[in-house]
Amino acid sequence: TGIALNLLLLYLISKYSRASLGTYKYLLIVFAISDVLLTLVHVCINHQIVSVGTMFACVAYTFVESRHFTAIYCSSFTLAFCLSIFNFLYRFWAVKYPHLVHLFTKKWFIALLAMVAASTFLSWYALCAFGTTGDIDEIGTIVAREEYRRRFGITITDGFQVLDHWRDGQFNFRAALVMLLCDIMIVSCISFAGLFAFLCFYHIHKADKLSVQTRQLQSKLLVTLCAQTAVPIMCVFIPYFAVITLPFFDVDVYFLNVGCTALISLFPTCDAIVIICLTTDYRIGLKSMLMGKRTSVEAIESMNTLSKVS
């Protein structure tokens, strides 16, 4: 479903994006492509979370049992939030500094954004792969392996990432530090997105040089972006924050473990649904497709103009 809806979104973007969207449609294209890739990653790396007492572990069930595949899976979702922040930056510049928007068409600036996204991915990967434990003969890994076998009926020897906070009355400082760094990164991502969203809303309402139509368009696009950003926050970052942090306090998170995996798998699908439903161009385009009509971009713009006049 996630792959099908995002491919549908790519078609709607290519066919029904009006000229007033400008280069913003290319950001939407990148979003849709990244969601397709995330879905494929989820299919190839069957990721699950298991926790017992104060021990947290995540594991990937793949053709090769390796902790690096688990780290790749956990790190791949940083791409979605980097794109959200880039999207907010685009909206903020479009309202406050429109002369800077053309930078999104410059190769060097695109390369810079790609480097930021890659650095974020590698930082999270390094934290997951080298900050956690998970050796085959460690007690925490053995406990996680038995819990996974009990729940799924499958025995996995390797591929575990473990945060074993307390063992035999001994506090594990390394596990607590990794948990703290993960929580800081999650909170930082949400805070950056929230800051840009606030700045965009503020400057849209304070801008006196924007026409009424431009202000309405910017407001609609920003509402869509906020709803789109809320999807990874609700489906990925908040559940992950909970399942990583609560075991430290010896809180039973069995149902959160199951729910977290389910929400993560829903994320790419919900992302496409939000964009299609909240973007007028794509909503009208999809409706015309379902009704067997051929609605052009010009017709959509005409309908939007008539609606604004009314």
pLDDT per residue as tens digits for the range 53-77: 999 999 998 888 899 999 999 899 8
Q: Where are the alpha helices (DSSP H) in the chain?
A: 2-16, 24-44, 67-76, 78-96, 107-126, 139-152, 173-206, 212-232, 238-245, 254-278, 280-290, 297-309
Decide if pLDDT at 153 tops 60.
yes
**288/293: higher pLDDT:** 288
Per-residue pLDDT at 296? 59
Percent of the chain residues past pLDDT 70, beyond the cut:
93
In Å, the largest CA–CA distance within the chain is 72
What is the average pLDDT across 261-277? Answer: 90
What is the average pLDDT across 238-262? Answer: 88
Q: Which of 133, 137, 130, 187 is nearest to 165 (CA)?
A: 133
The pLDDT-based confidence of 123 (bands split at 50, 70, 90) is very high
Per-residue pLDDT at 225? 82
Per-residue pLDDT at 80? 82
Can you give the pTM of this predicted structure?
Answer: 0.83
